[in-house]
Amino acid sequence: MGAYILRRLLLMIPTILGIMAISFLVVQFAPGGPVEQVIAGLRGDAGGATERVSGGGGDFGASSGEDSGYRGAQGLDPQFIAKLKQQFGFDKPPLERFGLMIWNYARFDFGESYFRSISVWKLILEKMPVSISLGLWITLLSYAISIPLGIRKALKDGSTFDIWTSGVVIVAYAIPGFLFAVLLIVLFAGGSFFDWFPLRGLLSDGVRGDWCAPWSAAFSVERCVGQTIPDYFWHLTLPLIALSLSAFATTTLLTKNSFLDEIRKQYVTTARAKGLTERRVLYGHVFRNAMLIIVAGFPGAFVSAFFTGSLLIETIFSLDGLGLLGFESIYKRDYPVVFATLYIFSLIGLITTLISDLTYTWIDPRIDFEKREV
């Protein structure tokens, strides 16, 4: 097993390099880069795009007639354009920029955001609590619903219960989560009916998260249990309902089909013939084998919900998480944030895939990866 893990870890290196190289070619050379963003800000509303542009009003003026190679740069001093290129690192050849990026990322040095005047690491850590909250709770909630429901549907296969629950699952899966989120806001968050739930952030004003942090000087069990935790779940109620509407559909049907497949196997018939109770047969034999694919997929399901499942929900409920950060960074061509999040997500995805494979051996020791090729 150790050799297999080592091979998988070594294979991650060329995989990460390939992902970053392709993304570099696609994104780095796409029109509308950070230099163009600043130029557009100078032409129109300077706004946030020019927050970090230094040099004062003397850096741009009448054009000397040189072609800077940037759309919309006419009328700006070429020296100012050169300073912008140097600031964003575009004064170096592409291959050198890519090599420097990979070297820094190998040491987890992601630099600073182009337009936010903050380190990328700090920016990601600021957004992490929202994404962790949504990803963790929606994964646990969906599994808590899917597994018992899937088992029940397998035992009642073909019954009225199985038919109408399948209809509910399919309809729930077909309804877009963002559309249901809007409906929840209209009904329960001050839209047109009730004003029961908040619409912004994870905590209300005046409620602090560090009350629940044992390492914090402000840690207080009374305030944590009495204020922070209830307020936290109060803010998460509607987003989790909107996300969970379709999250459990696939796992429910997968659980049902997995159980049906195991129940029909010969070893189940043999166990029943030996006089074992139905409960012992189901949970002592069938459950372990049927849940192999479900449990092994848990890490991947968590990562999927963590990173990709909540962009629209974060936007609708004003939750400033990693999904919204990634979208805004791509839109603004904030390349340090774009490539850092891509690197982190890819690395976590590869590690999660390895963990999922190793989970198979934990659930079923008969599986031996040493006897197969990577």
Ranking 4-18, 134-148, 151-165 by mean pLDDT, the lowest is 134-148
Confidence check: pLDDT of 289 > 70: yes
Average pLDDT over residues 159-177: 89
d(CA 230, CA 203): 10
Helix (H) or strand (E) holding 18: helix 2-23
pLDDT of residue 374: 44
Ranking 15-24, 157-166, 239-248 by mean pLDDT, the lowest is 239-248
Q: Supply 344's token pair.
A: 């982190």
Confidence check: pLDDT of 94 > 60: yes
Confidence check: pLDDT of 67 > 80: no
Taking residue 134's Cβ as centre, other Cβ atoms within 10 Å add up to 26
pLDDT of residue 46: 41
Q: Supply 31's token pair.
A: 């029109």
Q: Supply 93's token pair.
A: 């050849």
What's the length of the chain? 374
pLDDT of residue 369: 64
Average pLDDT over residues 289-298: 75
Residue 326: which residues within 8 A CB-CB, separation 6 or more? 311, 337, 338, 341
Contact 139, 248 (CB under 8 A): no
Q: Which long-range contacts (CB under 8 A, 24 or more apart) does 93-101 make?
A: 94/24, 94/28, 94/29, 97/28, 98/20, 98/21, 98/24, 98/28, 101/20, 101/24, 101/339
pLDDT of residue 263: 87
pLDDT of residue 163: 93
More confidently predicted of 40 and 279: 279
pLDDT of residue 44: 60
Contact 184, 176 (CB under 8 A): no
Contact 1, 369 (CB under 8 A): yes
Q: Which alpha helices (H) appear in 107-195, and where do they start and end?
A: 120-155, 160-174, 177-188
- pLDDT bucket at 86, cuts 50 / 70 / 90: confident
Backbone dihedral angles phi then psi of residue 189, each to the nearest 5 degrees: -125, 40
pLDDT of residue 62: 34
Ranking 61-75, 145-159, 257-271 by mean pLDDT, the lowest is 61-75
Contact 84, 53 (CB under 8 A): yes
Average pLDDT over residues 282-305: 75
pLDDT of residue 18: 93
Confidence check: pLDDT of 196 > 80: yes
The pTM of the full predicted model, rounded to 2 decimals, is: 0.72
Average pLDDT over residues 314-341: 84
Confidence check: pLDDT of 12 > 80: yes
d(CA 113, CA 119): 6
Confidence check: pLDDT of 228 > 90: yes
Residue 142: which residues within 8 A CB-CB, separation 6 or more? 244, 247, 248, 251, 301, 305
- pLDDT bucket at 71, cuts 50 / 70 / 90: low
Q: Which of 156, 145, 136, 137 is nearest to 252 (CA)?
A: 145
Confidence check: pLDDT of 63 > 60: no
Q: Supply 215's token pair.
A: 């390492």
Confidence check: pLDDT of 51 > 50: no
Q: What average pLDDT does the structure give for the chain?
A: 80
In the chain, the percentage of residues whose pLDDT exceeds 90 is 16
User: How many angstroms separate the Cα of 237 from the Cα of each of 138, 185, 229, 317?
Assistant: 11, 11, 12, 11
Confidence check: pLDDT of 55 > 60: no
Confidence check: pLDDT of 160 > 90: yes
Confidence check: pLDDT of 297 > 50: yes
d(CA 137, CA 149): 18
Q: Supply the DSSP symbol for 48.
A: G
pLDDT of residue 305: 65
Confidence check: pLDDT of 72 > 60: no
Q: Supply the DSSP symbol for 207.
A: -
d(CA 108, CA 344): 9
- pLDDT bucket at 329, cuts 50 / 70 / 90: confident
Q: Which amino acid is at 104?
A: N
pLDDT of residue 13: 92
Q: Which of 187, 190, 121, 138 is nearest to 310 (CA)?
A: 138
